[in-house]
Amino acid sequence: MDESKEKSPQTSTESTVPRAVVSRLSLYLRELQQLVHEGNATTNSTQLGTLLGFTDAQVRKDLANFGQFGYPGIGYRCEELIAAIKKILGTDRSWPVAMVGLGNLGRALLRYRGFQEQGFQIAAAFDVDVEKIGSTVEGIEVFHLDQLAEVVTVKGIRLAIVAVPGAAAQTVADSLVAAGVEGVLNFAPVTLALPDHVSRVGVDLAIELEQLSFAVVNRPENP
Amino acid sequence: MDESKEKSPQTSTESTVPRAVVSRLSLYLRELQQLVHEGNATTNSTQLGTLLGFTDAQVRKDLANFGQFGYPGIGYRCEELIAAIKKILGTDRSWPVAMVGLGNLGRALLRYRGFQEQGFQIAAAFDVDVEKIGSTVEGIEVFHLDQLAEVVTVKGIRLAIVAVPGAAAQTVADSLVAAGVEGVLNFAPVTLALPDHVSRVGVDLAIELEQLSFAVVNRPENP
DNA sequence: TAGATTGTTAATCGATTAACAATC
DNA sequence: TAGATTGTTAATCGATTAACAATC
């Protein structure tokens, strides 16, 4: 073998980590927070795996992508692992987020507490309805979409949530990109075209139900 | 009660078709509907793949799981493929769905039109707030959670959406299972324990944002 | 210590991509 | 026919699981 045994210089996390692993990382974090809430100081790969439906090997392998966090013979100290995962996910800080679109979904999301609990703060909302511009919803100022670039810059916004009708989503996305936003969480039922340097996550509520109906219809007993 | 075909130890259900494939099937459907809307009668694996960011081979391979839908030299007839995918997903019919929890998110989801467009109809809503019981929201009757089993039976409900606080979600899920519901779409930030014969899809809005912050923080150029 | 559990390597399993004969 | 595109098989790639020495 002529291969050097040198480790590659990428220390913590390059884009070599699959999305599925990152997704599970969030689940580990959520479960660890729950375990702490229940009074546990430590856990282990078997317990975490059982709670989430994964094998113990997978839990350890996933974490191994980012370093060594456990103690042989003991497991993982919950608070310590929580801090480590938050650092990896980037949620050891607070992110100001833009909300675009104040229809039913957008307004509901403005009121949702779960974002803030995990380090995301809606810093500004945008719409095109003049009735809404200038008002305040849940303590968040509503701006016209035209002010996007300005507000994004002033407030240091890097992430945005798109909750506009499908027909408007791509145009909004283009504006977000032009304003310098780096990541978009899209609730519109369309696939957004974004440049490579902008990250994209899509949630389509109807699609989630479709996954369910497929599972139900295709279960052995159910024709 | 006879599970006679015990070939594989666990998850004998839809193990033949991976979840990832089913998820892409929904994306194909959405894109095909968009293509029809734009006036296209046919498409092909290269076009579908390009629009969604997949290879043409993957599109064909995914569809091959379910049969032969294309025409060599031509591609796919949009309307025909739409009908085929809807049949596979089980959305060639209308599904009555239960909504449990009428907080901000639950109410927003009641108003969301996207469900109905894809064949899902909220048939009843449930809460424990006596102020809401008996009222009508968006034309949908609100029942007390105690009436779940009864209403589920009468309305033939097989799917449910859980939009209650995390602390209440497992209890609600247990009630849904007891009422005979076969699939649960869970928006509460907890992992629900459900029996094998009940399907589960989870959407955690904070987790979606975490995926985004991870992507942004771990992009080569960004600290 | 003895028991428990990690991190990691090797083996297995599954999913994606490439290639091409079939065919419209 | 000539050109285009499918469905499918084979090759590649990646992810999950199993196993175990290290170690607390």
**A96 CB near a chain B CB, below 8 Å?**
no
Identify the pLDDT of residue A134.
96
Distance from C-alpha of A54 to C-alpha of A36, rounded to nearest angstrom: 20
Cβ–Cβ below 8 Å for B119 and A158:
no
Give the pLDDT confidence score for residue B88 in this predicted structure: 97
Q: The whole model's pTM is what?
A: 0.92
Spatial separation of the C-alpha atoms in residues B76 and B70, rounded to whole Å:
5
Measured between CB atoms, does B137 come within 8 Å of chain A? no
Residue B222: predicted pLDDT = 60
What backbone torsions phi and psi does residue B105 show, to the nearest 5 degrees? Answer: -65, -45
Tell whether B149 is within 8 A of chain A (Cβ): no
Identify the pLDDT of residue A3.
30
Closest residue to B34, CB basis, from A26, A190, A219: A190
- Mean pLDDT for the stretch of residues B156-183: 98
Q: Determine whether the distance from the CB of B46 to the nearest atom of strand C is below 7 Å.
A: no
User: Residue ranges of the domains in chain B?
Assistant: 14-88, 95-208
Asked if B57 CB < 7 A from strand C, the reply is yes
Protein residue closest to C23, using CA and C1': B72
CATH architecture of B14-88: Orthogonal Bundle (1.10)
User: Is there contact between A58 and strand C, defined as CB under 7 Å from any strand atom?
Assistant: no
Q: Note whether A14-88 and A95-208 share their fold.
A: no
Mutating which of A85, A214, A222 best tests the B interface, going by the most B Cβ atoms within 10 A?
A214
B164-175 pLDDT, tens digit per residue, is 999 999 999 999
Q: Using 50, 70 and 90 to split pLDDT, how confident is the model at A197?
A: very high
- Chain A residues 15-74 with a CB less than 8 Å from chain B: 15, 17, 19, 22-23, 25-27, 29-31, 34, 51-53
pLDDT above 70 for B48: yes
Beta carbon of A76 within 7 Å of strand C? Answer: yes
Q: How far apart are CA B217 and CA B159, in angstroms?
A: 38
The neighbour count for residue A139, using CB atoms within 10 Å, is: 7
Q: Does B109 touch chain A (CB under 8 A)?
A: yes
- pLDDT at residue number A219: 84
User: What does the pLDDT average to over A102-109?
Assistant: 94
Query: Residue B95 to residues A129, B100, B156, B159: CA-CA distances in angstroms?
Result: 34, 16, 9, 8
Q: Quickly name the fold that domain B95-208 has.
A: Rossmann fold (3.40.50)
Whether B162 contacts B144, CB under 8 Å: no
Per-residue pLDDT for B47 more than 80?
yes
| Closest nt by CA–C1' to A59 | D16
Query: Residues 192-211, chain A: which have Cβ within 8 Å of B?
Result: 197, 199, 201, 203-211
Q: Would you state the pLDDT for residue A201?
A: 97
Q: Do the chains contact at B89 and A159, CB–CB below 8 Å?
A: no
Decide if pLDDT at A15 tops 70.
no
Nearest to A211 by CA among B105, B203, B57: B203
Query: Is residue B55 pLDDT above 50, yes or no?
Result: yes
Least confident range from A102-116, B2-16, B46-60, B162-176: namely B2-16
The one-character DSSP state at B5 is -
- The overall average pLDDT reported for chain A is 92
Q: pLDDT value at position B30? A: 98
Nearest protein residue to the C1' atom of D22, measured from CA? A72
Residue percentage of chain B with pLDDT more than 70: 91
Helix, strand or coil, per DSSP, at residue A140: strand
d(CA B68, CA B62): 11
Q: Is A85 exposed, middle or buried, given 0-12, 13-18 or 19+ CB atoms closer than 10 A?
A: buried
Does nucleic acid strand C have an atom less than 7 angstroms from the CB of A65?
no
Residues of B in contact with A199 (CB under 8 A): 212, 215-216, 219
pLDDT above 90 covers what percent of chain B? 90
Length of chain A: 223
Asked whether residue A9 carries a pLDDT value surpassing 70, the answer given is no
Q: Which residues pair with A160 in a beta bridge?
A: A98, A184
At residue B84, does pLDDT exceed 70? Answer: yes
pLDDT at A95 over 60: yes
Query: 3-class SS at A31?
Result: helix
Task: Please check the confidence at residue A49 and state whether its pLDDT lies above 90.
Answer: yes
Between CA B75 and CA B78, with CA B77 as vertex, the angle to 5 degrees is 115
Interface membership of A123 toward B (CB under 8 Å)? no
B215/A199 CB distance under 8 A: yes
Residues of A in contact with B196 (CB under 8 A): none
